[in-house]
Amino acid sequence: MNIGIVCYASVGGSGIVATELGRALAGRGHQVRLVSSELPFRFGDYHPGLGFHPVQAPLYPPLREPQYLLSLANKLVQVSREFSLDVIHAHYAIPHAAGAYLARQILATSGDDRVPKVITTLHGTDVTLVGADPSYSRTVTFCIDQSDGVTTVSESLKAETIRELSVGADIRVIPNFLDCDRYRRVPDPELRARLAGDDPATKLVIHMSNFRPVKRVDAVVEVFRQIHARVPARLVFVGDGPELAPACEQARELGLGDAVESLGEQEQIVPLLSAADLALLPSATEGFGLAALEAMACETPVIASRVGGLPEVIEHDVSGYLHPPEDLAAMADSAVALLTDEPRHREVALAGRDVALKKYCADAIVPRYEDYYREIVGVR
């Protein structure tokens, strides 16, 4: 099958999953064309059957600003014609589903022999943030309803999409996934010593995100402050975004500057997760919680907010810990309990890995996308 995948190039769950899906589909014999504003994060090395096509949105004075949506639709028309796409899979509703809709309409009205089906995957903030904004809500709903197929990454997000946007589309839930052979704990004593120091009693806490307000990085710092007061510990930030600098300043103001390190964006996260003892994810909302799954696959226990799709990934007190977003003291208590009880820490770490292996490996999830493509296209 010939598949076009549209996604964000920046760090974030939707772009990462879309890129991993493209790689996995190419590995299973499909021809895949990734379309984005720039080479997607974690695109990696060359994969037979996987190509990339950048969208260029030039600035012309009468338009006042670059028209990315229009350039995206134009690029999708070009790619569809050149590679005879069967499916355009848009990850994130705006602008990708909108661009895919426009491209399909252009092809349909131009008399093209092949008009691809449009499948939209909703990842979270395209519904909870963009979709909830009155400036975009009707456009988001329209683009979802005009898609030939719609998926969400969790049951929670499906329910929220129906409740908040009143969409009429039939929504299929296909969760996020990992290459479980690649996402596994690979200890590196030198890296561990570099991040945590020479004292083996020092615990390493990690937070990975795109550092947007929804990730509540200020809460990460506060939970870590409470951990640090009771257990020798260091905090590592992985990623970048608007909330990173304020969080680092907050840590300095709390006297934690020497215990907090920012590594910026990192493509190779498995070594970092393998070095960590604990991952914090006190988000305001999560459509799925890919960062949590990545940590669990690497046997790093996760303490997170009980919001969105996270309870579908983490079973409280079994494969991790979930607390109300506002209860930072409970998050810190759970963290300290894990970090000071090695047998219990190991038990939770292995339970997290077991969840990843049994439910979220690519070999189990990618065929569900293939089946859905065939269903929508009408081939078996």
Q: Label residue 244 by pLDDT band (50, 70, 90).
A: very high
Q: What is the mean pLDDT of residues 242-252?
A: 96
> 21-44 pLDDT, tens per residue?
999 999 999 999 999 988 877 777
CA pair distance 277, 301, nearest whole angstrom: 7
> 87-127 pLDDT, tens per residue?
999 998 889 999 999 999 999 998 888 999 999 999 877 77
Q: Label residue 380 by pLDDT band (50, 70, 90).
A: low
What is the pLDDT at residue 257? Answer: 87
Question: Does 132 score more than 90 pLDDT?
Answer: no
Is 285 part of a structural domain of the chain?
yes
Is 219 part of a structural domain of the chain?
yes
C-beta pairs of 267-272 under 8 Å, 24+ apart in sequence: 267/41, 267/42, 269/208, 269/238, 269/294, 270/182, 270/183, 270/184, 270/186, 270/298, 271/186, 271/188, 271/191, 272/191, 272/195, 272/206, 272/208, 272/236, 272/238
Identify whether residues 112 and 195 lie together within a single domain: no
Q: Label residue 139 by pLDDT band (50, 70, 90).
A: confident
What is the pLDDT at residue 137? Answer: 83
Q: Is the model more confident about 267 or about 288?
A: 288
Contact (CB, 8 A) for 22 and 299: no
Identify whether residues 354 and 368 lie together within a single domain: no
CA pair distance 115, 77, nearest whole angstrom: 9
What is the pLDDT at residue 65? Answer: 67
Q: What is the mean pLDDT of residues 247-266?
A: 95
Is 240 part of a structural domain of the chain?
yes
Identify whether residues 218 and 286 lie together within a single domain: yes
What is the pLDDT at residue 11? Answer: 55
Identify whether residues 206 and 353 lie together within a single domain: yes
**Number of residues in the chain:** 380
Is 70 part of a structural domain of the chain?
yes
CA pair distance 76, 100, nearest whole angstrom: 7
> 42-60 pLDDT, tens per residue?
777 778 999 999 998 777 6
Q: Label residue 317 by pLDDT band (50, 70, 90).
A: very high
Give backbone dihedrals phi and psi of 211, rounded to 5 degrees, phi first: 55, 45
Question: Does 294 score more than 90 pLDDT?
Answer: yes
Write the CATH number for 331.
Answer: 3.40.50.2000
Identify whether residues 56 and 123 lie together within a single domain: yes
Identify whether residues 165 and 270 lie together within a single domain: no
Identify whether residues 353 and 365 lie together within a single domain: no
Beta carbons within 8 Å of 165's beta carbon, 6+ residues apart:
127, 131, 137, 140, 141, 144
What is the pLDDT at residue 64? Answer: 67
Q: Label residue 302 by pLDDT band (50, 70, 90).
A: very high
Identify whether residues 204 and 350 lie together within a single domain: yes
Beta carbons within 8 Å of 10's beta carbon, 6+ residues apart:
41, 210
Identify whether residues 323 and 369 lie together within a single domain: no
Buried b / exposed e along 27-44 (16+ C-beta atoms within 10 A): bbebbbbbbbbeebbebe
0.75 surpassed by pTM: yes
Range of the domain at 273: 189-359
CA pair distance 121, 287, nearest whole angstrom: 11
Is 36 part of a structural domain of the chain?
yes
Q: What is the mean pLDDT of residues 150-176?
A: 91
Identify whether residues 203 and 296 lie together within a single domain: yes
Identify whether residues 114 and 135 lie together within a single domain: yes
Is 183 part of a structural domain of the chain?
no
Is 134 part of a structural domain of the chain?
yes
Q: How many domains, the chain?
A: 2
Edge to edge, the sheet with strand 149-152 lists 50-54, 31-36, 2-6, 87-91, 117-122, 149-152, 171-173
What is the pLDDT at residue 168? Answer: 79
What average pLDDT does the chain have?
92
Q: Within 13 A of 165's CA, how many CA atoms are on the CB side?
A: 32
Identify whether residues 251 and 285 lie together within a single domain: yes
Rg (CA), the chain: 21
Is 170 part of a structural domain of the chain?
yes
Q: Label residue 348 by pLDDT band (50, 70, 90).
A: very high
